[in-house]
Amino acid sequence: MGSLSIPTVILGVSALLVASRIIVKRTYQIPQVVRSSIVETLDACIFAAILSLVIITFIVQAFYIPSGSMEPTLMVNDRILVAKFLYRVEPVERGDVIVFRYPLNPQRDFVKRVIGRPGDRVQLKEGVVYINGQRLSETAYTIRPDFGNYGPVVVPEKQYLVLGDNRNNSEDSRFFGYVPRANIIGKALFIYWPPQRIGFVH
Protein backbone atom coordinates (compact mmCIF):
# COMPACT_ATOMS: atom_id res chain seq x y z
CA MET A 1 0.00 0.00 0.00
CA GLY A 2 1.03 3.59 -0.54
CA SER A 3 1.50 6.28 2.06
CA LEU A 4 -2.18 7.29 1.82
CA SER A 5 -4.71 4.71 2.94
CA ILE A 6 -8.17 4.43 1.40
CA PRO A 7 -9.94 5.73 4.56
CA THR A 8 -7.62 8.77 4.55
CA VAL A 9 -8.48 9.49 0.93
CA ILE A 10 -12.21 9.13 1.64
CA LEU A 11 -11.92 11.52 4.59
CA GLY A 12 -10.13 14.03 2.36
CA VAL A 13 -12.80 13.77 -0.33
CA SER A 14 -15.54 14.11 2.31
CA ALA A 15 -13.94 17.27 3.67
CA LEU A 16 -13.73 18.69 0.14
CA LEU A 17 -17.39 17.88 -0.49
CA VAL A 18 -18.47 19.51 2.79
CA ALA A 19 -16.45 22.64 1.98
CA SER A 20 -17.98 22.74 -1.51
CA ARG A 21 -21.47 22.43 -0.01
CA ILE A 22 -20.84 25.38 2.33
CA ILE A 23 -19.47 27.54 -0.50
CA VAL A 24 -22.33 26.73 -2.88
CA LYS A 25 -24.98 27.34 -0.22
CA ARG A 26 -23.52 30.79 0.50
CA THR A 27 -23.00 31.81 -3.13
CA TYR A 28 -26.18 33.81 -3.64
CA GLN A 29 -25.26 34.74 -7.21
CA ILE A 30 -26.28 31.20 -8.16
CA PRO A 31 -30.06 30.91 -8.67
CA GLN A 32 -31.88 29.29 -5.73
CA VAL A 33 -33.13 26.33 -7.79
CA VAL A 34 -29.64 25.59 -9.11
CA ARG A 35 -28.12 25.97 -5.65
CA SER A 36 -30.63 23.55 -4.14
CA SER A 37 -29.93 21.01 -6.86
CA ILE A 38 -26.16 21.24 -6.35
CA VAL A 39 -26.50 21.01 -2.57
CA GLU A 40 -28.71 17.91 -2.86
CA THR A 41 -26.14 16.29 -5.14
CA LEU A 42 -23.31 17.14 -2.73
CA ASP A 43 -25.35 15.77 0.19
CA ALA A 44 -25.78 12.48 -1.67
CA CYS A 45 -22.04 12.33 -2.37
CA ILE A 46 -21.18 13.09 1.27
CA PHE A 47 -23.53 10.34 2.45
CA ALA A 48 -22.00 7.89 -0.03
CA ALA A 49 -18.47 8.80 1.13
CA ILE A 50 -19.37 8.36 4.82
CA LEU A 51 -21.10 5.05 4.09
CA SER A 52 -18.03 3.86 2.16
CA LEU A 53 -15.81 4.84 5.08
CA VAL A 54 -17.95 2.88 7.54
CA ILE A 55 -17.99 -0.19 5.25
CA ILE A 56 -14.22 -0.14 4.65
CA THR A 57 -13.39 0.52 8.30
CA PHE A 58 -15.71 -1.98 9.97
CA ILE A 59 -17.27 -4.41 7.47
CA VAL A 60 -15.47 -5.37 4.26
CA GLN A 61 -12.55 -4.14 2.17
CA ALA A 62 -11.09 -5.05 -1.21
CA PHE A 63 -7.45 -6.09 -1.57
CA TYR A 64 -5.20 -6.80 -4.55
CA ILE A 65 -2.89 -9.84 -4.70
CA PRO A 66 0.52 -8.75 -6.06
CA SER A 67 2.56 -11.95 -5.65
CA GLY A 68 2.39 -15.71 -6.05
CA SER A 69 3.05 -16.60 -2.40
CA MET A 70 -0.51 -17.91 -1.93
CA GLU A 71 -0.80 -19.90 -5.16
CA PRO A 72 -2.81 -21.91 -6.03
CA THR A 73 -5.40 -20.49 -3.60
CA LEU A 74 -4.82 -16.88 -4.66
CA MET A 75 -3.19 -15.98 -7.96
CA VAL A 76 -1.28 -12.86 -9.01
CA ASN A 77 -3.74 -10.05 -9.93
CA ASP A 78 -6.63 -11.61 -8.01
CA ARG A 79 -8.81 -9.11 -6.19
CA ILE A 80 -10.42 -10.29 -2.99
CA LEU A 81 -12.96 -9.14 -0.43
CA VAL A 82 -11.87 -9.31 3.19
CA ALA A 83 -14.39 -9.46 6.04
CA LYS A 84 -13.19 -7.15 8.79
CA PHE A 85 -16.10 -7.84 11.13
CA LEU A 86 -15.87 -11.63 11.45
CA TYR A 87 -13.12 -11.74 14.05
CA ARG A 88 -15.12 -9.42 16.28
CA VAL A 89 -17.59 -12.28 16.81
CA GLU A 90 -15.56 -15.45 16.19
CA PRO A 91 -11.97 -16.61 16.79
CA VAL A 92 -9.20 -16.85 14.22
CA GLU A 93 -9.07 -20.51 13.17
CA ARG A 94 -6.32 -22.67 11.74
CA GLY A 95 -6.68 -22.75 7.97
CA ASP A 96 -8.16 -19.24 7.69
CA VAL A 97 -6.66 -17.08 4.94
CA ILE A 98 -6.09 -13.70 6.54
CA VAL A 99 -4.93 -10.22 5.57
CA PHE A 100 -2.71 -8.58 8.17
CA ARG A 101 -0.31 -5.71 8.69
CA TYR A 102 3.25 -6.92 8.11
CA PRO A 103 4.92 -7.10 11.55
CA LEU A 104 8.18 -5.57 10.30
CA ASN A 105 6.44 -2.73 8.44
CA PRO A 106 2.79 -2.10 9.40
CA GLN A 107 2.34 0.11 6.32
CA ARG A 108 2.33 -3.05 4.20
CA ASP A 109 -0.48 -5.61 4.06
CA PHE A 110 0.22 -9.33 3.65
CA VAL A 111 -2.06 -12.31 3.01
CA LYS A 112 -1.21 -15.77 4.36
CA ARG A 113 -2.85 -18.86 5.84
CA VAL A 114 -3.07 -19.37 9.61
CA ILE A 115 -1.22 -22.53 10.61
CA GLY A 116 -0.42 -22.09 14.28
CA ARG A 117 -2.71 -20.64 16.94
CA PRO A 118 -1.65 -19.47 20.43
CA GLY A 119 -0.17 -22.36 22.39
CA ASP A 120 0.32 -24.63 19.35
CA ARG A 121 3.63 -26.45 18.91
CA VAL A 122 4.48 -26.16 15.21
CA GLN A 123 7.16 -27.93 13.24
CA LEU A 124 7.95 -28.39 9.54
CA LYS A 125 9.88 -31.55 8.65
CA GLU A 126 10.78 -31.95 4.96
CA GLY A 127 7.86 -29.69 4.07
CA VAL A 128 5.29 -31.50 6.21
CA VAL A 129 3.60 -29.46 8.94
CA TYR A 130 3.08 -30.99 12.37
CA ILE A 131 0.80 -29.36 14.94
CA ASN A 132 1.26 -30.63 18.49
CA GLY A 133 2.90 -33.73 17.06
CA GLN A 134 0.09 -34.47 14.58
CA ARG A 135 0.60 -34.23 10.83
CA LEU A 136 -1.49 -31.48 9.23
CA SER A 137 -3.22 -32.45 5.98
CA GLU A 138 -2.63 -29.68 3.43
CA THR A 139 -3.11 -31.44 0.11
CA ALA A 140 -6.10 -29.23 -0.72
CA TYR A 141 -4.14 -25.99 -0.97
CA THR A 142 -0.33 -26.27 -0.95
CA ILE A 143 2.04 -26.46 -3.90
CA ARG A 144 4.40 -29.42 -3.74
CA PRO A 145 7.20 -30.31 -3.46
CA ASP A 146 8.54 -28.45 -0.42
CA PHE A 147 11.31 -30.00 1.61
CA GLY A 148 11.90 -27.19 4.11
CA ASN A 149 12.40 -27.59 7.85
CA TYR A 150 11.41 -25.21 10.62
CA GLY A 151 10.97 -25.39 14.37
CA PRO A 152 9.66 -26.82 16.53
CA VAL A 153 8.29 -23.61 18.05
CA VAL A 154 5.45 -22.84 20.44
CA VAL A 155 3.22 -19.98 19.30
CA PRO A 156 2.97 -17.28 22.01
CA GLU A 157 -0.29 -15.93 23.40
CA LYS A 158 -2.16 -13.49 21.13
CA GLN A 159 0.16 -14.41 18.23
CA TYR A 160 -0.32 -16.52 15.11
CA LEU A 161 2.02 -18.46 12.87
CA VAL A 162 1.22 -18.00 9.19
CA LEU A 163 2.52 -19.64 6.02
CA GLY A 164 1.99 -19.07 2.32
CA ASP A 165 0.39 -21.88 0.34
CA ASN A 166 3.27 -21.64 -2.14
CA ARG A 167 5.84 -22.59 0.49
CA ASN A 168 8.89 -22.32 -1.78
CA ASN A 169 8.00 -18.75 -2.74
CA SER A 170 6.58 -17.18 0.41
CA GLU A 171 7.86 -14.70 2.96
CA ASP A 172 5.98 -15.81 6.04
CA SER A 173 6.41 -16.62 9.74
CA ARG A 174 9.52 -18.63 8.94
CA PHE A 175 11.18 -15.31 8.10
CA PHE A 176 9.39 -12.51 9.99
CA GLY A 177 8.05 -14.38 13.03
CA TYR A 178 4.56 -14.37 14.45
CA VAL A 179 1.61 -12.13 13.58
CA PRO A 180 0.12 -10.30 16.58
CA ARG A 181 -3.65 -10.55 16.89
CA ALA A 182 -3.83 -6.75 16.73
CA ASN A 183 -2.25 -6.82 13.25
CA ILE A 184 -4.97 -8.98 11.70
CA ILE A 185 -7.24 -6.95 9.44
CA GLY A 186 -9.71 -9.66 8.49
CA LYS A 187 -10.50 -12.95 6.79
CA ALA A 188 -10.27 -13.36 3.02
CA LEU A 189 -13.69 -14.53 1.88
CA PHE A 190 -14.24 -14.02 -1.82
CA ILE A 191 -12.37 -13.53 -5.11
CA TYR A 192 -14.33 -11.02 -7.20
CA TRP A 193 -11.85 -10.42 -10.05
CA PRO A 194 -10.92 -11.57 -12.67
CA PRO A 195 -14.27 -13.05 -13.77
CA GLN A 196 -12.90 -16.53 -14.40
CA ARG A 197 -11.61 -16.65 -10.84
CA ILE A 198 -14.79 -15.57 -9.04
CA GLY A 199 -15.49 -17.75 -6.03
CA PHE A 200 -14.99 -18.23 -2.30
CA VAL A 201 -11.55 -18.45 -0.73
CA HIS A 202 -10.86 -21.83 0.87
Distance from chain centroid for Cα 89: 17
- Cα 126 to Cα 135: distance, rounded to the nearest angstrom: 12
CB 12 within 8 A of CB 5: no
- Check if the beta carbon of residue 162 is closer than 8 Å to that of residue 179: yes
> How far apart (Å, rounded) are the C-alpha atoms in residues 54 and 48?
10
* Amino acid letter, residue 136: L
Return the bridge partners of 79, or none: 64, 193
CA distance 44 to 197: 34
Q: How far apart are CA 166 and CA 180, in angstroms?
A: 22
Active site residues: 69, 112
